[in-house]
Each structure stands twice: as structure tokens, then as C-alpha cells.
Structure 1
Amino acid sequence: MDTIQEKRLDEQGLKLHFIQTKKFKTINIIVKLKSKLDKETITKRALLPYILKQGTKTYPDRSALQLKLDDLYGAVLTADGGKKGENHIISVRLEFANEKFIPDASNVMDEAVQLLSEVLFHPNTGATGFDDAVFKREVGTLKQKISAIQDDKMSYANMRLIDEMCKEEAYQLHVHGYEEDLNNLTNDDLFNYYQHMLEQDEMDIYVLGDFVEEKVKHLIMDTMQRTEQQGTKEADPAAKNSVIEQNEIIEKQKVQQAKLHIGFRTNTTYQDEAYFALQVFNGLFGGFPSSKLFINVREKNSLAYYASSRLESHKGLLFVFSGIAPDDFEKARDIIRLQVQAMKDGDFTEQELNETKDLIVNQLKETMDHPQGLIEILYQQVIGNRQMTPTELLEGIQNVTKDEVVHVASKIEEDTVYLLTSEGGEQGE
């Protein structure tokens, strides 16, 4: 893999990240706006990406904006929100053709930066803030998204697990916001918060492709103006919470397939040296079809329709997801616990260790082969407040030893068992 060089500049309250590569025929510019998770603001932040991509002052509706994107040789604009650790991130992305590959095109970069700046800083507004029709429509869109989680039982079970596991913690907050807060939200409130966000959020701008850095820097500085003081608040260190008491929650609904989701505290985050070993632990435990969860829970015992695990590396959480028959709850839960114990006991071979490291490295390389995937990997450093190049990440994974995996496993504690099961099912000890 080519060495990836990231050049960082702090200019006028903007953190610029330039990544030069000739691998792609497009340029990607991604703006990341970061703030703490907060119940008072999360619904507003969840709604803003929907509104911002609906139009600007110059291109006041979605069709006018789309015509401009088409005019930029089929540029693609996306905006969304998400949470990493106890941070709420809004991402606005623009991918467009590199003018070097287009005969007689010399202004694509200028127009693209201007357009992205306008999406962020000059949205379509009316007398009460944002365009009123857009505001009402997008409130409805977000309400649909929130209610759709109730119908997607896997997403619902994971949301409920985090509700129970992270009570009194910012990470518990729902990333799509809350319907009751949407019902009380006015256009004026949202617009005021949007202006506050532009002033206060930490703003990182990634530019990836084959471009002239000095030109792009000036374009961004000229169109996205902030003061030196804006957005300079340092990131909070990653939160680590220990298990106070183990929890078991059983909820009943009209479901055919029960969802058994279990949350663990890893006591290890992206900031720690043991982060690499934790990634390898997850690969062996439940990250791949060759992992212990898949083989033992699904294949050998035929207890689960699916069984896998996922890390939240900035918060220090490990989630196990499984879909089971309602009557198999205790058996499945106990076999999952046995797999955790097997990892703590070092019950895996050097061959399995090496194969898993190769799988993780290949997965990371595949992610880095996509511009937006590479930027997400680089942005982890901002969230985790730790500098780590992609090369260091890959080498860190390759160098993990069996003893390091066992040691990181020894720190993992079960926190909460959440079961969503059928109303007729008989569960309990």
C-alpha cells in the first residue's frame, strides 16, 4: 500500500487536512463538525444535515442544487450525523471530478469549494430562519426515521441495550434525536442553534486527491471564514466507565425471532496501546465468519440466525448481536459467555491469530481504498486525540501477540444482557 501522508494546518478556527494521492480521478472534500453529545442539542443536530442538503441561497431547492451538482460533472453531495464516543459528528461530503482529467475545465475546484461553503454557511433561509416548507418537511422525514427504528428489531434492540447499559452517560443519547423534542422545536430555535454550531463546533476539513495545496487552502480560507478563536475547544479524553453491577433486561413484543444483545466494557480505547490487541480480540471473538461466536453459537449449536460482535473503540464498549429462537435464550447467553471465557483463557491457536490479523489488515486496506473510508480512518485520530498514521495502524495490528490479546481480554467485563423476545416466550431462571 502506498504511504499515506496527511498534512495538517490550523487556520482561522479551521483544521485543514490535506491528503495527496494520484489513486483517484475525483477530489473529496469532507467537513466534520464535532460537539459533545448533549440531550439539549442532539435532536437539532440530527435534523440539520437533512435541511442543509435541501438547498442554498443561490440554489434554493433540491432540484436547483442537483442541477448545479450535475453541472459539476456529476458531483455528489451527502450530509449526515453520527456519534463516536461521547461526540456528535455532523459530516458534509462533496465528491467531484478532478479538473485535470477534463479537457477545457479549469474552474471545477473553485466552484466545488464555493458550493460546499454555501451549503454550510449560506443555506436557503426565510423570515423565521430556514425555509419554512423545508423545515416542516424535514421534521417529518426525521420523525419517519425515528419511528422506523421501532420496526427494525435489530436496531431497536441495540438502541435499548445502550439505553440500559449507558444510563446517566452521554453515549446513551439517540443519534436520530427524540420525537418529543422535534414536536417542540421551532424553526427559529433550530436556526439559532445552527449559527451557534458554526461558531462553536470543532471543524475539520479533509481534502483528498491530486490537487494544488496552496490554491485549495486559499479557496477554503476565502469562502469558509471563521475567527481564530472559533472551534478551538480541545476534545474531551475518551470516557471509560467500569461495570457497577451486571444487568439483565427482558422485553416482550410481537416478534418471531428473539434478539439477544449483550454489552461489555472493554476498559480499553483508541488512545491505549492495547487498542491493536482489542481489534484482534474482536476479530477472533465475533468480527468474522471464522470467529468463535459464529462457529460456536451459530454453526455448532445452531442457536442463532446471526451472531457477531462490534467495538465502539472511543467509548470502550463491545457489543454482541445475535438473533435466536425465543426458547434458546439461556443456552445462547451461556454459550456466548463461554466464548468470552475462552478468549480470556487463550483458547485460540497462533494460526487463528495470524489469519485474523490478516483479515483485519485486508479489511482496513479495503476501507482505505475508498476516499471516504480513508478519511474516516484518519478522523479517528481527531476523535481519539491520538496521532496514528494508517501505516502505524496496520503495523500495530500485525505485531499483536497472543499474550497481548489474552491480556486485553482479561479486562473485558460483561455489563448488560438485553433480550427482546416474543410475548408468548417463557424466559427466566
Structure 2
Amino acid sequence: MKINKEKMIEKQGYRLHILQSKKYKTINVVAKFKSALQRELMTKRALLPMILQKATSSYPDTRSLQAAMEDLYGMVLNSDGTKKGEDHVISFRMEVANEVYLNDQTPLLKKALGLFREVLFQPKVVDGGFDPKIVNREKQTLEQKITSIKDDKMSYANMRMIDEMCKGEPYSLHVHGYLEDLKKLDEKDLYSYYQSFISNDLLDVYIIGDLENIDVEALMDEHFRRDSSEVNQDDGNEKQHIAVSEPKNIVEHDDLNQGKLHLGFRTHTVFGDEDYFALQIFNGLFGGFPSSKLFMNVREKHSLAYYAASRFESHKGLLLVFSGVDPKDYEKAKTIILEQVEAMKKGEFTDEEVEQTKEQVTNQLLETMDNAQGLIEVLYHQVLSGKVIEAEDMIEQVRGVTKEDVIAMANKIELDTIYFLTSREGGEQE
């Protein structure tokens, strides 16, 4: 698969990333706002995109804003907030039909960008704040999100493990924010923060699609240039190398039938490091695919887990293992999971398994990059890491990983935290 190279240009108040491709019948624009993770901002940043998508100065309610998008051949707009290493990123995504493929001559991209700009830069303001009705409604929605995490025991166990594993580190902060902060927030507080956010967050804007015969730079400048931002430079957070002295054992009790056994490891490797691609293959062999050691040994061979898998955090250097086990099988399951780590350290896997996993990782990467917004996510890794790796080079680097590279990675990984959420009558399995 031929992947066009992105063109990145420093503009006034933002960085523009252009990807020309005839592959897509739509044009995708993604605006990514990045700021350092801070406890006092998490709830505001969780609520903000929810508010901005509900009304603008010209479209004062959800119905009129939705109708305006429908008029633009069903333009789609969505947003989310995520943790990436020690940063918080709010993404606004827009997708619109490419006018090249339409019969009429509507300047669709220009109109869609105008609406997108209004959502970001011209929100509905009432008496020096956001619309209180919208704020109260969205606060209720966010409150439900925060409280419902407790009901999804797998997500809750993962959150609690990160709380304990990364205590004192920005990464431990909760992406949906905190109830005690939400209760105190009002429309004026939030609007005051919005003004700081919209001027000062590091902004990267991606546009991807068939852009021939369009003056993309002029068009994007018209909609995204920020006069208040004299610079849009990334100071970058220093990578934290956390040494593990003794693994933590945390046992907590709740009303559940299936125990949640989660393990957290420090990989000491992030995107941009030379051994990052070896980490991808390690994860694939260890717990990333149905053919992996965790799945085959913990779940299939010993029938000790309802599920067993692993994933890694590209910008934080964490490897996380998830498993659902019967509370009485805690010790056995933990032992067998840790045995799989030792097997990886000793190289107890074949060259054929390495090749098969490289193929799986490559296919996964190609599938992600086959989607316009997936490709943008892959390319944004470069912004976060400050390391430029062309999309095609990523695939070559995956294919270049050897068994020895994977063994070296396995021996670099350190167990940090074992977290077990068990039934109230499950007993103390320390």
C-alpha cells in the first residue's frame, strides 16, 4: 500500500498537516488541542468538547446546528479527549463529502470549514458564559459517564490499577474528570477556561483527501489561524523513567462474580525509541492476538480466565495485562501469567511465531492507515514524540524486528503492579 507523505507547515498559531490522497471520496479535517495533564483541568477538558458541539453563535441550539450539518450533505462532527503519555489531547473531527464527486457546484469544503470553525471559535455565549441550560445538561451526561465506570468492572479495575501504579504521576489523572470538580463548575468558570484553552493549547490541524486544485493553505489559514498565539511550539514533557523497586500488590473487594486480575509493567520504551517496534511484536506474541501466550495458556490450556490479553501505552511506557478469573483461581492465574513473561525472556517462542506476529501487526497497521482518521492518529504519534517516522517506514521497521530484539525487550520490561478486584467473600489473596 502506497502511503502519501504528509506535508507539515508551521502556521500562525497552529501546525498544518496536509495529506493529498485520491483514495477517499470524503475530506477529513481533524483539529488536535494538546496540553500537559493537570488535575485541576481534567473535568473542564472533559466537559468542554461536549458543550462546544451543542451550539454556536449562529446556531444557538443542537437542532439548528444539526440541520446545518445535514444541509452540507450530512457533514459529520465528533470529538473526544484522551491521555497520551503526560499530555491531554482533545480531538475534534470533521468529515464531509468531496465536492469533486458531486453534481452541483456547492463550495462544500469552504462551507463545512466555516461551520467547523464556528463550533471551535464562536460558541454560543450568554451573559459572559456558556448557555447555562446546555452546561447543566452536559454536566448530567458527564456525571453519568463518571459514575458508570464503576459498573463496568473491567474499566474500573484498569482505572484503579493505573491510580495505584502511577500514583503521583500525571498519567494517573482520570480522563473523564472528577465528580467533586464537576459539581463546582458553572457556565462562567468553563467559558473562562475555554478562552485560555482556545488560545494556548498546542494546535495541530490535519486535512486529508483529494485536495488537488484547492489552495489548502489559504483555506485553512482563513479558518484556523490564531492571532493570540504568537508561537505554537511544543516544549515537550520530559520522559519520566520510573524505577521499580518492589512490585505493588493491591487487592480490593466489590460486588462481582468474576474477579479482575490486572497487571501493570514498565516497558521503559515509547514511540520514537529504537526498540519501539520490538515492543509491538513482544505485545503481539505475549497477549495482543488470539494466538498469543496469554490467550493460549491462561485461557485455552488451563481454562483459568474468561479473557486474557495485553496492550501497551505508546507514549507512557506501560504494558497492561487484563484477565477475568474466578476469585478462587487468583494465585494460579497470576502464576501462569508471570510464567508467560519468563518464557518471553527466555526466548521460548519460534522464529515462525515472530514472523506470523509481524504479519499480524503489519496488517493491523495497514488496516488502521486505510482509514483516513486512523492514518491521522498514526501520524499524530510523531507530534507527541517529536520523532518523524514516515508511515511506510513504520511498516519496514516492524518487518525488521528479530527474535533477539523481542527477547531484549522482554528482559527490559519490569513488573510494577498486580491489581486484583475480587468478590466481597473472595478473601484476602495477598
Aligned position for 1:186: 186
Q: Give identity over the alignment, percent.
A: 52
Partners of 1:257 and 1:325 within 8 A in 2: yes
1:237–1:385 contact (8 Å) kept in structure 2 = no
Residue number in structure 2 paired with 1:175: 175
The SS at the match of 2:355 is helix
Q: What is the total number of aligned residue pairs between the two structures?
A: 429
Matched ranges for 1:148-163 at <5 A: 148-163=148-163
CA-CA distance at 1:239 after TM superposition: 2.9
Q: Secondary structure at the match of 1:95?
A: strand
Write the distance in 2 (CA, Å) between the matches of 1:232 and 1:351: 45
The letter for the 1-side match of 2:154 is M
Aligned twin of 2:275 = 274
1:59 corresponds in structure 2 to 59
- Whether the 8 Å CA contact 2:15–2:232 is kept in 1: the answer is no
- CA deviation profile, 1:174-228 (whole Å, cap 9, x unmatched): 0000000001112111111111011111100000000147622212212223135
1:247 aligned partner: 248
Distance 1:420 1:65 in 2: 44
Distance 2:415 2:195 in 1: 42
Report the AA paired with residue 201 of structure 2. D
Match of 1:314 in 2: 315
> Shift of residue 230 of structure 1?
4.1
Q: 1:102-143 CA deviation, whole Å, 9 max, x = no partner? A: 012331011011111111000111114111100111111100
- Whether contact under 8 Å (1:130, 1:191) holds in the other structure is yes
SS of match in other structure, 2:28 = strand
The 2-side partners of 1:224 and 1:268 are apart by 34
CA contact 1:14–1:203 (8 Å) conserved in 2: yes
Instruction: Give the aligned partner of residue 139 of structure 1.
Output: 139
Q: Secondary structure at the match of 1:10?
A: strand
Aligned counterparts of 2:139 and 2:232: Cα–Cα separation in 1: 27
Q: CA deviation at 1:392?
A: 0.8
Residue 244 of structure 1 and its aligned partner are, at CA, apart by: 3.1
Paired letter, 2:106: S
After superposition, where does 1:77-96 map in structure 2 within 5 Å?
77-96=77-96
8 Å contact kept, 2:43–2:178: yes
Please name the residue that 2:120 is paired with: 120
**2:388 alignment counterpart:** 387
Q: CA deviation at 1:428?
A: 2.4
Point out the more displaced range, 89-98 or 381-390. Answer: 381-390
Structure 1 residue matching 2:265: 3-state secondary structure: strand
In structure 1, the gaps of 5 or more residues are none
Match in the other structure for 1:7 = 7
Name the TM-score, length of structure 1 as normaliser.
Answer: 0.98
Once the two structures are overlaid, the 10-residue window that deviates more, 197-206 or 216-225, is 216-225
Within the alignment, does 1:406 sit opposite 2:407 as a pair?
A: yes
Cα distance in 1, alignment partners of residues 3 and 144 from structure 2 = 43
Tell me how far apart the structure 1 counterparts of residues 240 and 52 of structure 2 sit (CA, whole Å). 31
C-alpha separation between the residues in 1 aligned to 2:4 and 2:332?
Answer: 47
Q: Which contiguous aligned blocks of 4+ residues in structure 1 show a shift greater than 6 angstroms? A: none
Paired AA for residue 55 in structure 1: A
RMSD: 1.1
2:398 matched residue in structure 1: 397
How many angstroms apart in 1 are the aligned matches of 2:224 and 2:242? 38
Q: Does 1:206 align with 2:202?
A: no
| Partner SS state of residue 41, structure 1 | helix
Q: Is the 8 A contact 1:28 1:95 kept in 2?
A: yes
Alpha-carbon distance, 1:302 to partner: 0.1
Question: What is the TM-score with the length of structure 2 in the denominator?
Answer: 0.98
